[in-house]
Chains A and B, each alone.
Chain A
Amino acid sequence: MKTPIYDMLIKGGLVIDPALGFGQEAAIFVKDGKIAAIVKESDVSPKDMASIPVENVVDASGKLVVPGLIDMHVHLREPGREDEETIITGCQAAAAGGFTSICCMPNTNPTIDHQETVKFVLSRAEQADAHVYVVGAITKMLKGEELAEIGDLVNAGAVAISDDGNYVQNPEIMRRALEYARMFGIPIISHAEDYFLCANGVMNESYQSTRLGMKGRPGVAEEIAVLRDIKLCGFTGGRLHIAHITTAGAVKAVRQAKADGIDITAEACPHHFTLTDEEIGKEFNTNLRVNPPIRTQKDVEAVIEGLIDGTIDCIASDHAPHADEEKDVEFDQAPSGMIGLETTLGLVKIALIDKGYLSWADAVRKMTYNPARILGLPAGTLEVGTAADITVIDPEKKWTVKKENFRSKSKNSPFIGWKLSGKIDITILGGRIVYRNK
């Protein structure tokens, strides 16, 4: 028998793989960019290690070893706003956040509504520090009027479609999209917020908007949009994924739809389970302006409840980079969005895991196996034979979010100065170390 020769070994860590139902100390061998073996620590022989270069032996003692994290909702800004983020810098930020796979939304310029843009993004991502999967547009130019060439988008590599940033306001178009996308087995990701109810609104409509005299975006706008899409999904037999869910009513609607057997999934963003709209009046920090807006304590609790009971399948960042000069303006003039790739894990740790709402295994599932399953990605597990996308987490490491440490090209985070816990130690993409915490 030939002695196997491995390229890399991650040893001593607690391996958590929700797909394999695995949660124990183990050593992982990597060969040719793939997971070659997972063995008990005691079974690691010096012979197995002999061929591995020292820098590729990762001592993960006291750390968690999980499948490379997946962020299914990211804005990369390329093409069009390369000053805010490029595919390369976005993937560097992803690596620093422990993500080995990210899905980019189509609201670029030009929009990703035809196969050339999909191919452009994929070609730019070839050498990047993360796998990039493309979400194509539902409608041309995200205008909500005519379906994009969805078949072409899928052929070029799109894994889902979304008009993110916009709600497909016309129910007839949404109905056709759900029906049409069914042919390709891809989900439609809905940015669910009724346009008319939100027009010109800059923050959640609440006592806080009343206090500050700002135009509100009512929670009912999201609830109505989600309910309509659920009805259309049930009617067409399509697949629906609700992006960045934020309100108690919407969480309840998704919970009921799941109970009714509708093919629906949902994601929540860290800022929607860690922040409330009370923050806005403190400093009018424009990084708190997001779409959908941060809501009330009651909504935060409902989102957490939805994460606990499985109504909400995934945690995604909705990483939305914006240049400093665009955010350094009056609150109601600032564009919506905050970056999130590099703070997601730490926020999940302090807001969900430390408070006992989710176990590490639950949290990892929502950031690996579940998004991979929803989008059909060849990722999210440490199964032998799959790509060696691995994230090593230092679970109790305390750290402070600092502007100068962001790898993202934009720094628009309201979490700067926050003390988090749970730090990415090493991120491995296809057997290559793409991030190492210093």
Chain B
Amino acid sequence: MQLRSRHLLGLEDATAEEITLILDTAETFREIIERPIKKVPTLRGITVLNLFYEPSTRTRISFELAEKRLSADTVSFTPGTSSVKKGESLRDTVQNIEAMKIDMVVVRHSSSGVPYFLTQCTQSNIINAGDGAHEHPTQALLDMFTIRRKYKKLKDLRVVLVGDIKHSRVVRSNIWGLKTMGASVAVCGPSTLLPFEVEKFGVDIFTDLDKAIDGADVVNIMRIQLERQQAGLFPSQREYTNLFGMTRERLQLLNKNYTIMHPGPINRGVEITNEVADGDSSVILEQVTNGQAVRMAVLFLLSGKKEEE
């Protein structure tokens, strides 16, 4: 079994078999990063470019560490936020770097579709590390990996995604991945942060958090960008917290063996209280650790290398 594509652009078209393969492979790497020497020679000779047009410390570090632990050579390039305004075009940037013989590109960009664009102008394997408000497949994979480790399954679990559904790439990848794996998915947020015709995703939709999480297994809380308040999408942080903040009282509504997730960075006290973020059922730090294993698995599977050992 192997992946159908040599790129990971998103999860919308991923099959259950492919997702399972990535998660199973990640189990092996999860074990490696618990060892005293957290390094294997798997990607020796492979050069990976981390192309981060948008600042994202945690995803970038997670990828870099994953690459280093697989013994890949890595270069990081952060061209700044505004890519084309009177500067070198994206195509030129990438083709220049590729001329230096790169094998894989991990890309983060504020425009939807950029990973696809790169597949059209380079020979490298492309890994989407987040494009616009479109997809963030490795985040969704690590979320699924974390859930699967705890429940030993994804099928029939009830997962609720809470917060800014409209602008979140994590949400889209999570919805597609989870549904493909047979989970039941609901979204909850202010109606101004639910995108147009979101029901066509085939998810349950809530604007009342208490109803949304009633009987849920997993609550995955999305970050609220404070500029959305300035854009008039909700009246105040205070009101947001009252309506959509995850508090200790609300935990009663969940199923017994519940899980609290957050892709970070957390706005403590806004979308989640300290107690909930740091509680026993919170797997927020576990997600970070698992992120490395999942990214190692993705890099390995896309590199086309055979496991040595």
- Could you tell me which A residues sit within 8 Å of B by CB distance? 205-207, 209-214, 216, 218, 281, 283-284, 325, 328-333
Contacts and interface: CB of A to CB of B under 8 A. Distances in A.
B117 A330 contact: yes
A366 B169 CA distance: 44
Given A205-B196, A214-B112, A329 B132 contact: no
Contacts of B110: 332
Nearest to A209: B196
Interface in B119-146: 120, 131-135
Going nearest first, the 10 A-B pairs with the smallest beta carbon separation are A213-B133, A284-B113, A330-B111, A213-B134, A210-B195, A207-B197, A207-B200, A332-B111, A333-B84, A212-B112
20 contacts: A205-B196, A206-B196, A206-B197, A207-B200, A209-B196, A210-B166, A210-B197, A210-B198, A210-B200, A212-B113, A212-B132, A213-B112, A213-B135, A214-B134, A283-B116, A284-B113, A325-B89, A329-B90, A329-B91, A330-B113
Nearest to B135: A213
A284 B132 contact: no
Contacts of B91: 328-329
A216 B84 contact: no
B207 to A, nearest CB: 16
B30 interface: no
**Contact size class for B?**
20 to 34
A205 B197 CA distance: 9
Nearest to B120: A283
A213 B172 CA distance: 8
Nearest to A199: B231
B114 interface: yes
A214 B167 CA distance: 9
Q: Of B112, B114, B195, which is in contact with the most chain A CB atoms at under 10 Å from its CB?
A: B112
Max chain B C-beta neighbours (<10 A), residue from A210, A214, A283, A328 = A210
B109 interface: yes
A288 to B, nearest CB: 11
Nearest to B198: A210
Given A205-B196, A330-B90, A332-B112, 13 more contacts: A207-B197, A209-B195, A210-B166, A210-B198, A211-B172, A212-B113, A212-B132, A214-B112, A214-B134, A216-B196, A281-B113, A284-B117, A333-B111
Given A212-B112, A213-B133, A329 B84 contact: yes
B169 to A, nearest CB: 6
Nearest to A205: B196
Contacts of A329: 84, 89-91
A285 to B, nearest CB: 9
A330 B117 CA distance: 8
B83 interface: yes
A206 B195 CA distance: 9
Contact of B133 (A207, A214, A281, A330): A214
Q: Which of B84, B90, B131 has the most CB of A within 10 A?
A: B84
B195 A330 contact: no
Interface of B: 12, 83-84, 89-91, 109-114, 116-117, 120, 131-135, 166-167, 169, 172, 195-198, 200-201
Contacts of A216: 196
Contacts of A332: 110-112, 132
Contacts of A330: 83-84, 90, 109, 111, 113-114, 117
B191 to A, nearest CB: 14
Given A332-B132, A333-B83, A210 B113 contact: no
Contacts of A206: 196-197
A213 B12 CA distance: 13
Contacts of B200: 207, 210
Given A283-B116, A330-B84, A213 B89 contact: no
A268 to B, nearest CB: 24
Contacts of B135: 213
Nearest to A329: B84
Nearest to A328: B91
A198 B117 CA distance: 25
Nearest to B53: A330
B305 to A, nearest CB: 29
A176 B198 CA distance: 42
Contacts of B172: 211, 213
Contacts of B117: 284, 330
Given A329-B84, A330-B117, A213 B196 contact: no
Contacts of B195: 209-210
Interface centre among A325, A330, A332 (most CB of B within 10 A): A330
A209 B113 CA distance: 12
B230 to A, nearest CB: 13
Contacts of A209: 195-196
Nearest to B117: A284
A212 B197 contact: no
Contacts of B197: 206-207, 210
Contact of A284 (B112, B133, B166): B112
Contacts of B111: 330-333
A414 to B, nearest CB: 15
Given A210-B196, A284-B113, A328 B89 contact: yes
A216 B201 CA distance: 17
Contacts of B83: 330, 333
A201 to B, nearest CB: 11
A216 B198 CA distance: 13
Contacts of B196: 205-207, 209-210, 216, 218
Nearest to A333: B84
Contacts of B133: 213-214
A205 B89 CA distance: 27
B132 A213 contact: yes
Contacts of A284: 112-113, 116-117
Of listed B113, B131, B133, B167, residue having the most chain A CB within 10 A: B113
A284 B114 CA distance: 8
Highest count of chain A CB atoms <10 Å: which of B111, B116, B198, B201: B111
Contacts of B84: 329-330, 333
Contacts of A218: 196
A19 B83 CA distance: 53
A395 to B, nearest CB: 37
Contacts of A213: 112, 131-135, 167, 169, 172
Contacts of A214: 112, 132-134
A216 B110 CA distance: 15
Contacts of B116: 283-284
Contacts of A207: 196-197, 200
B90 A331 contact: no
B18 to A, nearest CB: 20
